[in-house]
Chain A
Amino acid sequence: MTEGSSLPGAIAAAPRPTRAEPVRLSSRSRRRIAGAARTLTILLVILVFFGPVVWIMLTALKQPRDVYSLSVIFTPTLDNLRTAFASPYFLGSRTLNSIIVTTGTIVLSLPIATAAAYAFSRFRFPGGNAWSLGVLATQFIPPVIIIIPLFVAFRSAGLLDTRLALIIANMSFVVPYSIWMIKGFIDAIPADMEEAAQIDGASRLRAIWDVVVPMAIPGIATAAIFAFVVSWNEFFYALVLSRQDAVTLQVGLMGARTERGDAWEIMAAMGLVIILPMLVLSRYVQRYFVAGLVSGSVR
């Protein structure tokens, strides 16, 4: 408004020629420009998202002296990976720890979360929503605040530096979120079907297993992917609760920050191993994820 009044001529005149006498572009060249713009945007997005990944992959294959050079032409080597698997980095055992902790978290969390989600969805609790909201509210407490009590508790239980401790710590945030993810799906399943199953001769538990769980699979899969991603990437609890035996990949990565400086090529080699399952996951599991997100729209 103010601009228009201060520059009446410029503002008013500017669009007019194009309207009255548009630049005559053939529809083919206009399409070509639009196509180029789109390609450029896509390339930019790819660069932002995949640039760092590519950089890590390249660095992992570089010799230490090439690490700081921006050149993409170098003699590739597998030495970094070999070093990473050896002492003092122990990439192998750390990968195993990560796999066991992540798998353990998923395998223990999902049945618990599914059962809790069913209960919150189907039963009325004294106090109403307070319980299910309370489960979520626990997540508003920052881990930094509870890490010391948690450390003390695990120490007295003799669980420090064990994978079990990390699994339990991971479950403390995986289970609550999973409950809410799965609950949303179970809420959408009409009670009719379970009732039908019960009249057809199934016990309540059997009805849940035969009818509710298969229909909640997209939700459970979504929760599983979430559980995998967050427990695979979990760093803070693992840093505090592990020392030697239970060290995971994420914490192991810090081992490459030595007194003689950061060994970027080693970190990158470890990074490869960390990224790998994510790449596989995104390739094969994303359709479940998508199915989970759109389910409910079609009945």
Chain B
Amino acid sequence: MASVELVGVEKRFGSFSALQHLDLSVADGEFLVLLGPSGCGKTTTMRMVAGLEEATAGEILIGGRRVNDALPKDRDVAMVFQNYGLYPHMSVAQNIGYPLKVRGIGGPDREGRVKRAAEKVELGPLLHRKPRELSGGQRQRVALARAIVRTPQVFLMDEPLSNLDAKLRVTMRAEIKHLQHELGVTTIYVTHDQIEAMTLAHRVAVMNGGVIQQLDTPEAIYDRPANLFVAGFIGSPPMNLVPGRIAGGTFQAPGITIAGAFPAAGGDVILGIRSEDVTIAAPGEGSIEGQVYASELTGEAVLVTVSAGGARLIARAPRSFRGGFGSPIALNVDAGKIHLFDEATGRRIAFADRSDGG
């Protein structure tokens, strides 16, 4: 087990810059998730840690040792691939045992360790099967078992759940979390699924355009998004974002006026509010008046999209809510949960009564 550090790492493919000056440090035993849309550089970052991709500039350290020039085999990491990366001509047992075999560990020692790893992921009875005779979830378990069969310094997981169906994904997510906790191995996990990121991570690095947008705990990223990208990327449904203007301590947008403890010299801003911080009210009883654009029952709640002025806001209403298309409705906003972003830079604006420092 070891820490992982990336210092000023850059990656260019020809003239395309995939990563720009990335600084990232993962503590020993930490579960760090790299989260971002496709093409944001998260997989490239992980592949550089693995040694499958060379860094154009900067240093990569595993356990304090510079590994830029080390081959993948000498970095003592284990990786779980999106497509599992199993060896189709080998049985499950041979697949799991391969990392031991290439390290010259044979005989009963290898057998025992393969068996223990297989049992940990509940693969015991399938050891003699070939990968093609397994279901997607079982293949994923083989890939996991192969990663844990020897205790590497770092686990790397590249979207390991994205090929599984939704139900299995939830189960496997919990198993991965449990396994990582039990083994205490430093883990870097790449995903574009924010739920996976929120549920698994100790810390999340939200990436976009080859730059880390925010690196913090899931709570902090949810509660205090550092910029518009993070605000829009995290949360389902995404945060409501309303462009407008602050003048005299009041937020104003076409058809929307919100009074609150806003900074006096606000100027052009974008106001963000999560759907669960917006409550519905009878027409005339809220701060924002509008009409129901659509309402969607999710099971535990109803998501009501309201068109107010030039904007559309999503509110989370109790599951008993029934509002017809176009019926008038009012919304109230929890003033303490409002986020403000600078319209020009997209950065979060900290304001008076909020001790978020962000």
Contacts and interface: CB of A to CB of B under 8 A. Distances in A.
B71 A200 contact: no
B242 interface: no
Interface in A163-210: 190, 192-193, 195-203, 206, 210
A200 B52 contact: no
A201 B103 contact: yes
A198 B132 contact: no
B79 A196 contact: yes
Nearest to A198: B72
Contacts of A198: 51-52, 71-73
Interface string A190-232: 1011011111111100100011001100000000000000000
B132 A299 contact: yes
Nearest to A192: B85
B132 A195 contact: no
Interface residues of A, number: 19
**Interface size band for B:** 20 to 34
A96 B86 CA distance: 44
Nearest to A195: B52
A211 B87 contact: yes
B188 to A, nearest CB: 13
A199 B52 contact: yes
Nearest to A203: B73
Contact of B73 (A193, A199, A214): A199
A193 B86 contact: yes
Contacts of A200: 73, 78, 98-99, 102, 146
A192 to B, nearest CB: 4
Interface in B48-90: 50-52, 71-73, 75, 77-79, 81-89
Nearest to B152: A199
19 contacts: A190-B83, A192-B85, A193-B85, A193-B87, A193-B88, A195-B72, A196-B86, A196-B146, A197-B87, A198-B71, A198-B73, A200-B146, A201-B73, A203-B71, A210-B87, A210-B102, A211-B87, A298-B132, A299-B88
Interface of B: 50-52, 71-73, 75, 77-79, 81-89, 98-99, 102-103, 132, 146, 156
Interface of A: 190, 192-193, 195-203, 206, 210-211, 214-215, 298-299
Given A198-B51, A199-B79, 16 more contacts: A190-B83, A192-B81, A193-B85, A193-B86, A193-B87, A195-B79, A195-B85, A196-B81, A196-B85, A199-B73, A199-B75, A200-B146, A201-B102, A202-B73, A298-B132, A299-B88
